[in-house]
Amino acid sequence: MLSERLLKALNDQVNYEFYSAYTYLAMASYAESQDLDGFANFFRVQYEEELFHAMKFYDYINQMDGRVILEKIDQPKVEYDSVLHLFEEGYKHEKEVTSRIYNLADIATDEKEHATISLLKWFIDEQVEEEQNFNTIIKKLKRIESNSAALYMLDDELATRTFTPPVANA
């Protein structure tokens, strides 16, 4: 049985994961508007990942006999200056997610809620990968600068990203 405090915090995270999904879909939409289909694909896959995260928390709350309460999802940022700007904002966003996951882990640890600690361990590892993904592409984009041939090569590379739900965990 989850405490009220932990249940509330987990529900907030369900909302934040949906907000993350929405944020990345807005970024996909910006990339589509620039005819950068590979970048758009990258963010569409990211959108699916965030939906997967939201549902992972959703399923866990139900498993623990808690109730998921869906709230309003805030409007994501829709205006961007460049693809580099998308990744910089995405990187910032992922750092915010990491601090929220750490905060959840602190609450679960404080309450000695070991099942939740175990779930959050998965998310802690996932965040290392999420931050690294964004940081790597930021570094590539900075090296590319205004070389449009290189930008289209990166666009082609990002067109190949697909969403594969992780198997059998938690």
Closest to Fe ion by CB, 81 vs 96, is: 96
Q: Specify the stretch interacting with Fe ion by CB under 5 A; choose among 25-33, 34-42, 122-130, 145-153.
A: 122-130
Q: Scanning residues 126 to 145, which ones bind Fe ion (CB under 5 A)? A: 130
Closest to Fe ion by CB, 17 vs 113, is: 17
AA letter at 119? L
- By beta carbon distance, the residue nearest Fe ion is 53
Residues in binding contact with Fe ion, number by CB under 5 A: 4
| Among 131, 143, 2, 157, residue whose Cα is nearest residue 66 | 2
Contact code string over 69-108 relative to Fe ion, x by CB under 5 A: ----------------------------------------
Closest to Fe ion by CB, 130 vs 155, is: 130
Q: Is 28 left (phi over 0), alpha (psi -120 to 50) or beta?
A: alpha
Q: Specify the stretch interacting with Fe ion by CB under 5 A; choose among 5-13, 16-24, 73-81, 132-140.
A: 16-24
Please identify which residue in the block is written with the tokens 């750092």: 95
**Closest approach of Fe ion to the CB of residue 25, in Å:** 13
Q: Is 168 left (phi over 0), alpha (psi -120 to 50) or beta?
A: left
- Residues 6 or more apart in contact with residue 107 via CB below 8 angstroms: 5, 6, 9, 113
DSSP string for 102-147: HHHHHHHHHTT-HHHHHHHHHHHHHHHHHHHHHHHHHHHHHHHTT-
From the DSSP assignment, how many helices (H) and strands (E) are in the chain? 5, 0
**Closest approach of Fe ion to the CB of residue 133, in Å:** 9
Contact code string over 33-72 relative to Fe ion, x by CB under 5 A: -----------------x--x-------------------
Closest to Fe ion by CB, 58 vs 151, is: 58
DSSP code of 68? -
Interacting residue ranges for Fe ion, rule: CB under 5 A: 17, 50, 53, 130
